[in-house]
Amino acid sequence: MEPTQVRLTIPDSVDPTVLMGPADSLLRRIEGGFDAMVSVRGNVVSVSGPADVVDQVTSVFSRLIRLVDAGETPSTGEVDVIIDQVRHGAERVSLAGDDILLTFRGRAIRPKTAGQKRYVDAIRKSTVTFGLGPAGTGKTYLAMAMAVAALKRHEVGRIVLARPVVEAGESLGYLPGTLAEKLDPYVRPLYDALFDMTDIEKGNVLIEQGIIEIAPLAYMRGRTFNNAFVILDEAQNTTPEQMKMFLTRLGFSSTFVVTGDATQRDLPGEGGLESARRVLEGMEGVSFVDFDRNDIVRHALVARIVDAYERDAAERGEGRDAR
């Protein structure tokens, strides 16, 4: 069978040296990931090989071209993720005009997968949004970006970040210090996301002023949040009663986002995520967005790790409640 040949023309708005990476590192990554011949001359990329492989390589280059055209400088890790997504048939997502926020370093935060796009759109239109799925899909990070963007646009007056204080399978023992110091190990991922979007000094000022509040879920009882963007992270470790308590804190002009992965629950019995879906799915103003391995945007190995654990669970007859 004759090999299929395709030629791609790199747009004038895209710098070929950025597209191919330093010393052609991105090009080498793509060549190593597929059984196809790839050559670049000027602004023309030629791909030759089996038809299905050529289609995949063409899709990878098309996505890279859109990234570079949008002002990004892709890394080898990002190329690995794109290759993995293309191999598994992940939907394409348009990057044009969908920036959520510019970080203090000038980097644009935007959805990178179809699942992330659905999630961002759901947060924009719904009062309460549940983002459910495996690690590395950007559930918390995108929610934080949406919150910071809403604060900058003065759509909300404050951001509240909450997590259930549950030890992940190991005892941390007695932690000395103030309440904030005791909570730090639990809420550190929220700080990491926040400080990636605002510089540490400004972020700490907002926290000191109470404009950004980070608190354990247990401290939500009795409160009502008006004009706020509230994120409940790691919600798989809530009970149905805690989830009801949290959701009923909703006040006027507020947005609630709940994130979690039911497969990483550290407590026995039915969780708050499962009960919330059973009771609330289909209710106006409430959205549920499911992420899967095609939405993982961390190191490509993370997606393969998720696959391996899911296969193991299936072989053991445990199954997985993806919802």
Sequential DSSP letters for 235-251: GGG--HHHHHHHHTTB-
For residue 267, report the phi and psi dihedrals to the nearest 5 degrees: -120, 150
Q: What is the DSSP letter of 295?
A: G
The pTM assigned to this predicted structure is: 0.73
- Specify the pLDDT at position 228: 97
Classify 93 as helix, strand or coil. coil
Reading phi first (left if > 0) and then psi (alpha if -120 to 50, else beta), residue 33 is in alpha
Instruction: Using the predicted structure, report yes or no on whether residue 267 has a pLDDT greater than 90.
Output: no
Pick the closest to residue 235 from 166, 144, 307, 188 (CA basis).
166
Q: Which CATH architecture has domain 4-87?
A: 2-Layer Sandwich (3.30)
Most confident of 24-38, 245-259, 305-319: 245-259
Question: Are the C-beta atoms of 3 and 59 separated by less than 8 Å?
Answer: no
- Specify the pLDDT at position 188: 78
Chain-centroid distance of CA 195 in Å reads 16
Instruction: Using the predicted structure, report yes or no on whether residue 187 has a pLDDT greater than 80.
Output: no
Q: Which residue has the higher pLDDT, 285 or 202?
A: 285
| Domain residue spans of the chain | 4-87, 101-315
Instruction: Using the predicted structure, report yes or no on whether residue 173 has a pLDDT greater than 70.
Output: no
**CATH code assigned to 101-315:** 3.40.50.300
Q: Which residue has the higher pLDDT, 186 or 96?
A: 186
- How far apart are the C-alpha atoms of 311 and 299, rounded to whole Å? 20
- Specify the pLDDT at position 169: 42
Question: Are the C-beta atoms of 163 and 242 separated by less than 8 Å?
Answer: no
Per-residue pLDDT tens digits for 198-239: 888 888 899 999 999 988 888 888 999 999 999 999 999 999
> Could you give the C-alpha distances from 249 to 61, 128, 145, 227, 273, in angstroms and in order?
47, 12, 22, 12, 16
> How many Cα atoms within 13 Å fall on the side-chain side of residue 30?
32
Residue 315 pLDDT class (50, 70, 90 cuts): confident
Q: Which residue has the higher pLDDT, 251 or 321?
A: 251
